[in-house]
Structure 1
Amino acid sequence: VSGAGCLIRNSMGKLVSVASYKLKEGTYNSTELQALSKGLSLAASLKIENLEIEGDSLVIINAIIKKRALSWKLDLGVQKNLWQLSFFNNWSIRHVYREGNQCADWLANKGIEKILWEKVDINGSAWEGLVMMVSKEEPNYGIDGSSPRM
């Protein structure tokens, strides 16, 4: 059983929306593709035009950048994600270390527990813990040299 967690932040880094989903069973990489698809659907539903995507699966990030998967079994999922991305005016995708993706991981675990949220009002008191975690999470915890890693 796998789950997906999605966070949408505005250009200032402020949390806009979160979502948690239970995913179909599959390999690690196929569930990462499902999770990306869910996040793209959420962003589209919010009418976001310019998108910066961060994920901790380097295999999937590279497959999207290269526009092809290493395995034919994953290629359909990659092509679906590329099709979804074609509806955004601008998009970029980059890898972040797992430490920089803790909030999405927490939400994914809620999806596994069948606690499903979609387009949640994040201003409610139930979200204080997550909002605190998001504010402490290091944005740009990437491997592309854009921020120093200590």
Structure 2
Amino acid sequence: MEAEHLSTEPRIVYMIKPPNNSYKLNVDGEVKVSSSGCGGLIRDGYGNNIMAFVGLVHYCSVNFAELSAILHGIKLCVSLGISNISIEVDSTFNIHCLSNVDDIMCNQDLFYLVRDIKQLLIFVNYSLSHVYREGNAYAN
């Protein structure tokens, strides 16, 4: 298998505003030796902050922490009556887990969390996309 080429050239990263009738949800998870957490930010189509959130997560993988942030962020959007959401995450693995119809990408530790997220996504119009870590700084 050929190794993926990593570019050392600088890249310009900037926020792309969602359509005016939509909101953007940026989330992230972090795992350290002594603690794990998740957080995110909900913004409107003009880039105005609507709500930010942070929370502790029991010791887990970074994927679990980020999926926890996605779940919490979607729950907040639903509670605020927000039904058009552009979700941005910096983990392609989690995007694949949520995009996969059969849930075969997820390991047993993530299965129920992914299932809960998918059940919530039924109630909103959403897009799920990858953003570079630098572009996801709002959620860090």
TM-score strictly above 0.5: yes
Show the counterpart of 2:106. 70
SS at match of 1:25: coil
Distance 1:36 1:80 in 2: 10
Q: Which residue of structure 2 lines up, in the alignment, with residue 45 of structure 1?
A: 79
**1:81 lines up with 2:134 in the alignment:** no
Whole-angstrom distance in 2 between the partners of 1:96 and 1:57: 8
CA distance in 2, matches of 1:19, 1:28: 17
Over the matched positions of the two proteins, sequence identity in percent amounts to 35
Instruction: Point out 4+ residue stretches in structure 1 off by more than 2 angstroms.
Output: none
| Residue 86 of structure 1, CA deviation | 1.2
The aligned amino acid for 1:96 is V
TM-score w.r.t. the length of structure 1 is: 0.64
User: How far apart in 2 are the matches of 1:22 and 1:74?
Assistant: 17
- Tell me which amino acid in the other structure corresponds to 1:95: H
Alignment pair present for 1:34 and 2:55 = no
CA distance in 2, matches of 1:46, 1:52: 15
CA RMSD of aligned residues (A): 1.3
- Where in structure 1 are there 5+ consecutive unaligned residues? 106-150
Q: Distance in 1 between matches of 2:58 and 2:122?
A: 24
Distance 2:62 2:52 in 1: 22
TM-score, scaled to structure 2: 0.69
Q: Does 2:77 match 1:57?
A: no
Compare the two structures and name the one with the higher strand fraction: 2
Aligned residue runs from structure 1 range 1-150, under 5 A: 1-67=35-101, 68=103, 69-88=105-124, 90-105=125-140
Structure 2 residues not aligned, in runs of 5+: 1-34
Once residues 138 and 45 of structure 2 are traced to their aligned partners in structure 1, the CA distance between those partners, rounded to angstroms, is 18
Structure scoring higher RCO (CA < 8 A, sep ≥ 6) equals 1
Counterpart Cα distance in 2 of 1:5 and 1:72: 23
